[in-house]
Amino acid sequence: MDDLPDPLFDLEPTPPFLEKNRSRLQLVFLIIFRFSLHFILPILVIAGVIYLVIELGGEKTGCLLVTVEPDSAVVILNGSAILQRTGELVENLSPGSIMVSVYRQWFTPVPEEFFGEIVAGETLRVHFTLTPKAREPDFEPVNFGVNSQPKIVTSVSDNSLSSGRPKESLRSNTIYCSIIVTSNVQGAEIWLNSKNSGLATNTSFDSLDAGRYVIAVKRDGFKTEPDSQAVVLEWDYQIEIVYFDLKPIYELVNPSLTVRTVPVSAEISLDGEFMGESEITLDLNFGSYTLSFGSVKNFHTPGDMVVELTRRNPVQTVTIEYNRVLGNSAIAVINILKEGLIEGDKFSFYLDGLEYFNPDHRKLRGYLFDNLPPGKHMISFIYEGAKSVREVELEDGYVTNIDFIIERVFNRKNIKLKSVESIPRSEWMRAHAQMNIQSVPWVE
């Protein structure tokens, strides 16, 4: 019996090439095992720890879904109104007891309130039926509530709950109302009964007394529509939501810039580009612009000016004054034949393109255009359609004296220049001291 071969072990000898391959396979398996032990196993352990921390360490929250029939209503949690209405899922609620109610004007909810439990990871579903109630007469506050201020104020957002009210039953003998103020642009100041509440949209004003409240919101750079809204609170737990639409001012008013120069018309450039002569109006965008101005003979040229069009000040008008160059020269125009200049009123002078007219000049012998700078000047005489133009060259300290007469030629009056001479200023002043000559105030 001992010589019989074992069918499991006493088989034919393994060929040498198989024995060699077996050793290689064992080596490969050993390498894989050690790699798993040093790398894969720690990764699996870490992943398991993270999973346990997430599952056991983090606080789970629950959800609430409130429905009504018919239509929709405002949802009230623990006595405080929230932004979500019925039919919208309220998320991230802490586990625990909760009181749910709904509000809709002129309706009574059945049941009036619901007490339940929020369970982590689950959704609590609550349904109310709204039954119509008789409309009450309009409420007119007498001596209470008109200037009431909120006792509890809570900021609210689209995804957060208002938690300002104490968690107690809605059943009470006192007025306990709320006003939620919202706007399309958050951060607008809320004014309650003409007083700045110090709060901004979106905000819930809770624990309000009965009365009439006027709500307005303000924010720089925006126009509010409507300007204000009035809300009347008259019964327990009444909740009103007011909404304001804020529109940027720049959407309502297109920015523009009007530029004029006085007393002369001058060239105007914007950011180095010629725009035209005074007066011009430019339709622009918001931003900063540099104005520059052209030179005008016998006037000082103003420096560049920076103008900024902003949302607060989108439409601007700029007036630039050109100051005359002061000089010690003058032009005198004198009628040498008559006591007065003319018999009628249709007489005027133009000096360098600027008109001067005095309706009472019949009492005058002439005019003295003083404080002019040396150089060439153009003087024009116009009388009943007749025009005489003379260019004169002024010397510093001299008066160019122009004598003229008005003569009639074939039933037509005409202006005729008799003499033009340059006289030292002091000498001219002595010679004409007793003559009724008006000095023209070209420079104030």
Residues 276 and 237 in one domain: no
- Please compute the mean of the pLDDT values over residues 367-393 and round it to a whole number: 80
Which token pair is 88? 């919208």
0.85 surpassed by pTM:
no
The answer to whether 428 touches 332, Cβ cutoff 8 Å, is: yes
Alpha-carbon span 312 to 249, nearest angstrom: 8
**Percent share of the chain, pLDDT over 70:** 70
Residues 84 and 110 in one domain: yes
Residue at a domain's end among 220, 249, 278: 249
Residues 342 and 431 in one domain: yes
Residue type present at position 208: L
Residue at a domain's end among 321, 351, 374: 321
Q: What SS3 class is residue 329?
A: strand
Which token pair is 178? 């709320």
| Domain presence at residue 50 | no
- Please compute the mean of the pLDDT values over residues 254-266 and round it to a whole number: 91
Pseudo-torsion of CA 104, 108, 111, 116, nearest 10°? 30
Which token pair is 90? 């309220």
Residues 98 and 123 in one domain: yes
Alpha-carbon span 300 to 326, nearest angstrom: 10
Total domains in the fold of the chain: 4
Alpha-carbon span 308 to 288, nearest angstrom: 4
Q: What per-residue confidence (pLDDT) applies to 88?
A: 85
Which token pair is 320? 């630039």
**CB neighbours of 238 closer than 8 A, spacing ≥ 6?**
103, 105, 177, 178
* pLDDT > 50? residue 54: yes
- Please compute the mean of the pLDDT values over residues 392-398 and round it to a whole number: 84
| Domain presence at residue 433 | yes
Mean pLDDT of the chain: 75
**Residue 339 structural domain:** 329-440
pLDDT range class, residue 250, cuts 50, 70, 90: low
**Percent share of the chain, pLDDT over 90:** 17
The DSSP secondary structure of 334-382, one letter per residue, reads: EESSSSSS-SSS-EEEEETTEEE--TTGGG-SEEEEEEEPSEEEEEEEE
Cross-strand bridge partners of residue 356: 349
Q: What per-residue confidence (pLDDT) applies to 261?
A: 93
pLDDT range class, residue 139, cuts 50, 70, 90: very low
| Domain presence at residue 81 | yes
Q: What per-residue confidence (pLDDT) applies to 155?
A: 44
Give yes or no for a cis peptide into 226 (omega within 30° of 0). Answer: yes
| Domain presence at residue 13 | no
| CATH number for position 69 | 2.60.40.1120
Give the containing element (helix H, strand E) for 8.
none
| CATH number for position 399 | 2.60.40
Q: Which stretch, 79-88, 162-171, 343-352, has highest mean pLDDT? A: 79-88
Helices (H) and strands (E) in the chain — how many of each? Answer: 4, 33
Residue at a domain's end among 196, 224, 249: 249
Residues 337 and 411 in one domain: yes
pLDDT tens-digit profile of 72-125? 777 888 866 676 778 888 888 889 999 898 877 677 889 988 999 999 889 999
| Domain presence at residue 140 | no
| CATH number for position 276 | 2.60.40.10
Residues 312 and 400 in one domain: no
Closest C-alpha among 393, 328, 405, 327 to residue 366: 405
Residues 361 and 417 in one domain: yes
pLDDT tens-digit profile of 316-341? 999 999 987 777 777 777 776 554 44
Q: What per-residue confidence (pLDDT) applies to 214?
A: 93
Residues 189 and 288 in one domain: no
Residues 338 and 421 in one domain: yes
Residues 186 and 238 in one domain: yes
Q: What per-residue confidence (pLDDT) applies to 35?
A: 66
Alpha-carbon span 274 to 269, nearest angstrom: 4
| Domain presence at residue 53 | no
Residues 346 and 412 in one domain: yes
The answer to whether 62 touches 121, Cβ cutoff 8 Å, is: yes
Alpha-carbon span 427 to 242, nearest angstrom: 84
Cross-strand bridge partners of residue 205: 153, 179
pLDDT tens-digit profile of 359-376? 555 566 777 888 788 888
| Domain presence at residue 32 | no
| Domain presence at residue 56 | no
Residues 176 and 238 in one domain: yes
